[in-house]
Structure 1
Amino acid sequence: MITYSHQNIDQSDIDALTKALKDEILTGGKKVDEFEEALCEYIGVKHACVLNSATSALHLAYTALGIKEKIVLTTPLTFAATANAALIAGAKVEFIDIKNDGNIDEKKLEARLVKNSTDIGAISVVDFGGNSVEMDEISNLAKKYNIPLIDDASHALGSEYKGKKVGSMADLSIFSFHPVKPITTFEGGAVVSNNKELISKIKLLRSHGIVKKRLWDSDMIELGYNYRLSDVACALGINQLKKLDHNLEKREEITSFYDKEFEKNHYFSTIKIKDYKKSSRHLYPILLFPEFYCQKEELFESLLHAGIGVQVHYKPTYEFSFYKKLLGEIRLQNADNFYKAELSIPCHQEMNLKDAKFVKDTLFSILEKVKKGYCG
């Protein structure tokens, strides 16, 4: 099975883990600081806090911003954690529709802010598939209305926007180190920022809100959590980060092949990355034309049967039964249509061009056999 994404674990990772496992300290040691410093250097920010998941990172980012009882404006086209973490932090969520590239529509975001901005606690955007949002426009809106901006860049470590690394432009930016993401620490995440005060608050909450005073004495000054990332996981993260740019080049080779081979086909469109952006290529989404919407399940099953591991990114968050109970029925046309159209096909550094050609040939072969027909 060629999976839609895959971790890259080689002997250098195994060696780094083995060495870390032999150290005296397995958690709460120097590797945590080293990983945070390496992330800061790579992204181009001053401060970082690594945690046990991107969900924890989101939760503490929202909490540090003090968004309780306020509204978080976010995208529905994301993993549920983007909205869930806001609710856990005591906020309300409101979904803004997307554009055809899967990213939040900055014009619709502006229209919502013009309507009323006094009750907004944060804007939380997602760089879908590794393709940056239009950060200039969104950042300007956040500054104009004096609203904190969170960039959920879980897909986008290594991505760039106008020459700047994604993660360096928002008030707080989130990264994920789940195995399907650009680098992995098994599970893990991070918050990065140029705001020392916010990161200090997040680091306090990461470990129970406890501060050391002297010798054995400590004090709990906030109600915090156990969201720590171990030294062993950080040792893997440090080594993974060293390989990131090389692995992104390999992903780019696969996507360049796809872009060329899929140009002007009769079945689907692809998402074009603008010249002033560089994507981590976490995903390679194809968007089926409407006449194939109703055949998507058949196509999905046929591809799996052929050994091609596809996935769908994402079911809009408001479609989950929990959110229907919370918010009622919501319809956002672009997000609804994107969900009907989207399939993520294999694209990762463990593939070669032979694998990509197999995916392309098999995809077209199955699509040729699928009967067209608009949903009745």
Structure 2
Amino acid sequence: MIPYSTQFIEEDDIAAVVDVLKSSHLTQGAKVEEFEAAIAEYVGARFCVAFNSATSALLGAYAVAEIGENDEIITTPISFVATSNMAIALGAKPVFCDVKTDGNIDESLIESLITPRTRALVPVDFAGKPVAIEAIKAIAKKHNLLVIEDSSHALGSGIGTQRIGSFADMTIFSFHAIKPITTGEGGAVVTNDEAFAQKLKLFRSHGIIKKQLWNSDMVSLGHNFRLTEFAAALGLSQLHKLDRFLATRNEIARYYDERFAGHKLFATIAIDADEQSARHLYPLLLSPALHCSKEDVFTELQTRGLGVQVHYKPIYQNSFYKERFGEQRLANTEHFYKSSLSIPCHQKMSMEDARIVADTVLEVMEHYSHRECSF
């Protein structure tokens, strides 16, 4: 089975973790700070605060932005549930904006959703493709809102010469195992705002500041969302390879683009000339001309050894959201969900693997184009 994404751990990664395991500090040492500094430098931000997951990083970002009871955020339903869940955890309400054909939030619809309760715009760089961040920032500035960018798919993505992480008020990255680099579990918030950075550090570690000798003081409510030293060591080792990993992902994606260009049964998502994508996912968008259900295609591809996946069921279709907020339907979101299917694209693959994937996809699609079944 060729998975749609997976970690790529090499011997130097293992050695970096072992070195920390043999050291005096497994947590709250210098390695996390070194990792944070390296991430901040890589993306072009002043500050980085590492967390034990992107979910806790999202919660931290919302909390230090003082988003709470009866507030609203405007975000996308095409994301992992954590993007909106963490706002709900603080008493806020996610307001879902429809998406464009690339799966990213439709910035032209955002302004119509703003109310006096809106506190932040929370776009997601779906699959690694950057959102229209400058347009989103302009809307936020006009209405005095924050932009908290969920870039869990997009470490290494960019627009022009500027990397994702340097645009928004706060940006969240994920280092989950299937992301381009991993700490096992892990995440971070990057920001240019020193006040946010200091509050985030308190939030992730019980709200405690250390004074002299044994003395410390809890100055705010916090949690234990700290990243371990050995996780940071793994992340730092992986970060040194990120550009190589992204080059492999993009080489595979370009190959797919060529093999699939102009196909009548499915489309791919184009990356604009001035954009760089981390290619966390490579989604196909199935056409109604396929004449069969996505479930049939999904099952057949998996049977043939491709670990395909769907990203994502619209968040509002989950039972929790239906019970709390009622039934919702957004036309482009529904269409995107019905048509999208992610195929393998990651740095552990060879170009021969990519050829196998492309050949298999084309063979299965052609087979199902002749089936008498409904889409």
Question: How far 1:182 sits from its partner (Å)?
Answer: 1.2
- 2:343 is equivalent to residue 342 of structure 1: no
Report SS of the residue matched to 2:306. coil
Q: CA RMSD in A?
A: 1.2
> What residue in structure 2 maps to residue 332 of structure 1?
330
Q: Contact 1:291–1:374 at 8 Å: present in 2 too? A: no
Deviations 1:191-239 (A, max 9, x none): 0000010111011010111111221121212121010000100001111
Off by >3 Å, runs of 4+ in structure 1: 291-294, 371-376
Q: Contact 1:171–1:195 at 8 Å: present in 2 too? A: yes
> What residue in structure 2 maps to residue 38 of structure 1?
38
> What residue in structure 1 maps to residue 91 of structure 2?
90
> What residue in structure 2 maps to residue 361 of structure 1?
359
- Stretches of structure 2 that go unaligned for 5 or more consecutive residues are none
Paired letter, 1:62: Y
Distance 1:374 1:140, change over 3 A: farther
> What residue in structure 1 maps to residue 102 of structure 2?
101
> What residue in structure 1 maps to residue 71 of structure 2?
70
Q: What are the residue-to-residue correspondences of 1:28-177 with 2, within 5 Å?
A: 28-68=28-68, 69-113=70-114, 116=115, 118-177=116-175
Separation in structure 1 between the aligned mates of residue 86 and residue 226 of structure 2, nearest angstrom: 17
Question: How far 1:162 sits from its partner (Å)?
Answer: 2.4
Q: What are the residue-to-residue correspondences of 1:9-20 with 2, within 5 Å?
A: 9-20=9-20
Paired letter, 2:364: I
Separation in structure 1 between the aligned mates of residue 165 and residue 97 of structure 2, nearest angstrom: 21
Q: What are the residue-to-residue correspondences of 1:112-261 with 2, within 5 Å?
A: 112-113=113-114, 116=115, 118-261=116-259
* TM-score when normalising by structure 2: 0.97
Q: Contact 1:291–1:375 at 8 Å: present in 2 too? A: no
- 2:315 is equivalent to residue 317 of structure 1: yes
Q: Contact 1:290–1:374 at 8 Å: present in 2 too? A: no
Separation in structure 2 between the aligned mates of residue 356 and residue 67 of structure 1, nearest angstrom: 44
Report SS of the residue matched to 2:185. coil
| More moved, 284-293 vs 359-368 | 284-293
Separation in structure 2 between the aligned mates of residue 162 and residue 119 of structure 1, nearest angstrom: 34
Q: Contact 1:211–1:221 at 8 Å: present in 2 too? A: yes
Deviations 1:120-177 (A, max 9, x none): 0111010000000001100111111110000100000000012210011000000000
Q: Contact 1:181–1:282 at 8 Å: present in 2 too? A: yes
Q: Contact 2:157–2:277 at 8 Å: present in 1 too? A: yes
Separation in structure 2 between the aligned mates of residue 134 and residue 148 of structure 1, nearest angstrom: 15
Paired letter, 1:2: I
| More moved, 315-324 vs 357-366 | 357-366
Question: How far 1:364 sits from its partner (Å)?
Answer: 1.4
> What residue in structure 1 maps to residue 8 of structure 2?
8
* TM-score when normalising by structure 1: 0.97
Deviations 1:33-64 (A, max 9, x none): 10010011101111110000000000010000
Paired letter, 1:45: A
Paired letter, 1:153: S
Of 261, 265, 268, which residue of structure 2 is paired with 1:267? 265
Separation in structure 1 between the aligned mates of residue 32 and residue 221 of structure 2, nearest angstrom: 22
Question: How far 1:111 sits from its partner (Å)?
Answer: 2.5
- Stretches of structure 1 that go unaligned for 5 or more consecutive residues are none
Report SS of the residue matched to 1:214. coil
Q: Contact 1:97–1:332 at 8 Å: present in 2 too? A: yes
Deviations 1:48-84 (A, max 9, x none): 1000000000001000001112101000000000000
Separation in structure 1 between the aligned mates of residue 306 and residue 263 of structure 2, nearest angstrom: 20
Question: How far 1:291 sits from its partner (Å)?
Answer: 3.7
Separation in structure 2 between the aligned mates of residue 98 and residue 375 of structure 1, nearest angstrom: 25
Q: Contact 2:59–2:86 at 8 Å: present in 1 too? A: yes
Separation in structure 2 between the aligned mates of residue 293 and residue 329 of structure 1, nearest angstrom: 28
Q: Contact 1:28–1:231 at 8 Å: present in 2 too? A: yes
Q: Contact 2:293–2:373 at 8 Å: present in 1 too? A: no
Question: How far 1:294 sits from its partner (Å)?
Answer: 4.4
Q: Contact 2:264–2:289 at 8 Å: present in 1 too? A: no
Question: How far 1:26 sits from its partner (Å)?
Answer: 0.6
Q: Contact 2:265–2:288 at 8 Å: present in 1 too? A: no
Q: Contact 2:180–2:346 at 8 Å: present in 1 too? A: no
Separation in structure 1 between the aligned mates of residue 185 and residue 133 of structure 2, nearest angstrom: 27
Question: How far 1:373 sits from its partner (Å)?
Answer: 5.8
Deviations 1:87-125 (A, max 9, x none): 112211110000000000000012223xx3x21011101
Paired letter, 2:84: A
Q: Contact 2:252–2:354 at 8 Å: present in 1 too? A: yes
Separation in structure 2 between the aligned mates of residue 295 and residue 205 of structure 1, nearest angstrom: 46
Question: How far 1:361 sits from its partner (Å)?
Answer: 1.0
Paired letter, 1:315: K
Paired letter, 1:108: L
| More moved, 284-293 vs 17-26 | 284-293
Distance 1:63 1:373, change over 3 A: farther
Separation in structure 2 between the aligned mates of residue 293 and residue 338 of structure 1, nearest angstrom: 17
Separation in structure 2 between the aligned mates of residue 227 and residue 292 of structure 1, nearest angstrom: 46
Separation in structure 2 between the aligned mates of residue 175 and residue 374 of structure 1, nearest angstrom: 41
